[in-house]
Structures are given as structure tokens and as C-alpha cells.
Homo-oligomer: A and B are copies of this chain.
Amino acid sequence: MSKIDLHPDRLFPGDETARNIARALYNHVRDAPIISPHGHTDPEWFAQNQNFANATDFFLVPDHYVLRMLYSQGVSMQDLGVQYRDQINKVDPRKAWQLFGTHYHLFRGTPSRIWLDYVFSEVFGLEEQLSADTAGHYFDSITAALQTDAYKPRAILDRFKIKYLATTEGALDLLPHHTKLNADGYGHRVVSTFRPDDVIDPDREDFRDNLEQLAILTHEDLSTFNGYLNALRNRRDYYISMGVRATDHGHPTARTLALGKAEIEALYQICRSGRGTLEDHENFRAHMLMEMARMSIEDGLVMQLHPGSYRNHNPEVFRAFGRDKGADIPQAITYTEALKPLLDELGNRSDFTLILFTLDETNYARELAPLAGHYPCLRLGPPWWFHDSVEGMIRFRQQVTETAGFYNTAGFNDDTRSLLSIPARHDVARRMDCRFLGQLVSEHRLHEDEAFDLIGELTTGLVTKAYRLEDI
């Protein structure tokens, strides 16, 4: 059996000079509070503040990074405890965890391994590595710990020094948990994000139902495009009243479009009626990014665009197990042409912030850094999803910094559904920034005092500015 190795110098450069600088920088920010402006934890956890059930339900079943890797090697989702259609999964959670332990070697070299080892060691005090032999002990230890007060959701917020945590809710959400959080004094700490894909994307099978819900919720007449826009404004206002600072848009591409009044009215009617082609839907989404940007100018919400994922690529897995099971696959996309209509209209405004993400790294140096290094409204989000990783972060900094600088980036997002992994992810991000800065200093591309200034910006400064969180 092997010990978990959380070496204090992990992820730092091999070169001693650079490593010493990286270590000094890291010591400067390792205990800084966590600001998490984009993520997918469940607000009910913090609202209810109940203990989590067991290691499997809390750790394994919701982690699509883990599920996909196990599934790729022939492990059954059901055996891991994932629910099949509407049947309650009756797998013994301890047996599911044992299966995870038996296959833990599959994660060698992946970020999941780094995050999980951190959680096992730092959060639960486990010392031996997870394996077939230790799986039972792991399940029992973690599950027992989860029953204690120290592992209740709000205690975890404190323990992890999480100063600000954004969740993400659809346009039709009533934000009941955030209401409870407000009542309990957590309203400035756990805040939603307005993600209206469900009422903007006509590709969705529930699009028309969602429009009906939207009409009911807002008392707007959705028979005209104007009414539809008013309904969206209404919902944005509600979210803003709940402390929300940002919107998020998960489109297949980054296309934007500025249709004339008559054109968009006609297109809206086609999409609303369910008669739209795939091209109509793409045009509608593209125009709606324009409208969302225009509303951001009005109401001040920061806009985030996450394009390029082919969602639910595996229809069999989707039918059997639903969304977010590791079957979303990136596609080639571009930005220069796609964003032009939006940038033509609003790109020069300093009172508008559009944070861009990508799954197609070819855009880092070719399009995103040149765009962000010119347009006042643009900032670049951190390496996203598959690229939220050691090598992904190296590529991001190497390919973005020289053209966009540091100050057109927006700090780190953990973007996670996994509460316990939040400090693990921020720790990796901080270490990687220290590594990059350490190398710049050791190669005489940056002064050491500038690096100390920058590591503060990369850890808390830039995220605060980009997401307009100066008051938190």
C-alpha cells in the first residue's frame, strides 16, 4: 500500500530557482479566501445544512469526471450507483465504492486523481492511497465523518474559507434555497447565477413547455418577441434582487447575430411554434446572445459564454442515465467571426463585461487572446472543464499571456458540482500560477516583486474585478 503523496512542492517547477520562487509566491496566497464565481453545487445543501448521506452518493455518483473514466473501461454506471431511468438504484453504496477503489489506477495522470487525493488526505485525514484494499476503510471513514457537524455544508464553507460561492440556476427557478439562505444571513455568500438556456435554446425538447412556464411566472404575454424579452428582463430583475451578479450561457457555438425587428419577430414565432430548423435554432440563439448583452448593459449583470460542447453525445447513455454523465464532447469552434456582430455593437463599452471560455484550445493564441487584448468588454475565463488541469493551465498561460496579458483574464473558476473538491481545485490553480510566475521570474521575464503583485491579482484581485464583487 502506498501513502498519499501531497508533497509541499507538488506541481512546482523542477528547476530549483524557479521552484523556490514558486514556493514563496504560494506561501503568499495559500491561505487566501476562496472566491468561486462560477460553479454547480446544489444550493439546497447550504439552505438545509443537512449531513450528506454517504461517500458514494456524495462523491462518486455526481462526479461526471469519475463516471466517464470508469465507464470508458467497461464499468457499469448502475453498479456505481447511478440511477437508471426512473428505477431507484438499489446497489449497495459500499459495493459501488469498492468498484471505484478497484479502478482507482485509471485516474493516474488525471486531475481527478489530484483533486481526490487532496480531499481524501486534507479533508478526511486518510493516509493510504485508495485501492481495492483500502476502499472499505475509505467508505466507512468518509461516511462516518459526513455524519458529524464538522462536515455539514455550512461548516464546510467556513472550513474551506469560501468567501463567495456562485451556484447556477435555470431561468425558471424560484430560488427557494437562496431565499432561505438570505433569511439565514448567507445570502451574500452563496449566490445564484442566471442561466437562461432552458428558455433560449429551441433545440431543447422542453423549450416550448419552458416558455409556457416563463409566461406564467412573469405574467408576460409571450405571443410577441417583445413580451418574451420583457419576461426575460423580469426574471433577470428577480435574480438581481437576490444578489446575482452574472449570467451564464452554454451555447453550442459562439455565434452572435443582430437581426432586425421584423426578422427576429418572425424567427421567434417559428421557434416558438416548434417548426424551426436546426439553422433557425442556431440563429435564434445567436440573436439572443445579442439581447442578453444588451440587457447586461441595462442591468449590469456580467455575461459569461461557455460554448463548444456537444451535449449528450451518447444517446444510449442519455436515455438510460440522463444529462451530465460524462458524455458531453467538445467540438471545433471559432470566435473571431462568430462574435463580430456582438462586438460591433457593444465591444467598445467598458461598462459591459463578457467573459469567454473555450473547450477548443486552438482559439487561445489564435482568437481569444487577440480579441481580449483589444476589446474593452472582453475578459478570458480560466481553462475550462477538461482543461481545468495541470497541463491545461500551462497551455492557457503560455498561449494567452503574451497577447492578452494577465489583466484581461478573470481569475479562477472551479466550475464544480463537487463541494469537497473546491479547495483542491483552487489549490491546483494557485500552484500552477505560482509555477508559471516562478518560471517567468527565473528566466528574467518578470521581476520578483511584480510576481508577488500578480499572484494576488490571479488569486483574488482579477476575479473580484471581472465579476464586480468589490463589495463582498
- Contact surface of A with B, Cβ cutoff 8 Å: 2, 5-7, 9-15, 17-18, 68-69, 71-74, 105-111, 114, 129, 310, 313-317, 326-332, 334, 336-337, 340, 343-344, 347-348, 350, 359-362, 365-367, 369-376, 378, 386-387, 389-392, 398-399, 401-408, 439-440, 442-447, 449-450, 453-454
Contact = CB atoms under 8 A, between A and B. Distances in A.
Contacts of A316: 344, 347-348
A379 to B, nearest CB: 9
Contacts of A389: 402-403
A445 B405 contact: no
A334 B71 CA distance: 23
Contacts of A350: 74
User: Which of A109, A110, A344, A402 has the most C-beta atoms of chain B within 10 angstroms of its own C-beta?
Assistant: A109
Nearest to A340: B313
Given A107-B405, A347-B314, A330 B367 contact: yes
A331 B336 contact: yes
Contacts of A340: 313
A94 to B, nearest CB: 25
9 contacts: A14-B14, A15-B15, A72-B372, A109-B402, A109-B405, A109-B440, A317-B348, A329-B371, A389-B403
A336 B129 CA distance: 35
B348 A336 contact: no
A108 B329 contact: no
Contact of A14 (B68, B371, B442): B442
Contacts of A73: 376, 407-408
A400 to B, nearest CB: 9
A327 B105 contact: no
B401 A109 contact: yes
Contact of A378 (B11, B72, B391): B72
A30 to B, nearest CB: 16
A5 B114 contact: no
A301 B54 CA distance: 43
Contacts of A74: 350, 376
Nearest to A369: B386
A350 B73 CA distance: 8
A348 B314 contact: yes
A398 B107 CA distance: 15
Given A366-B359, A443-B10, A331 B326 contact: no
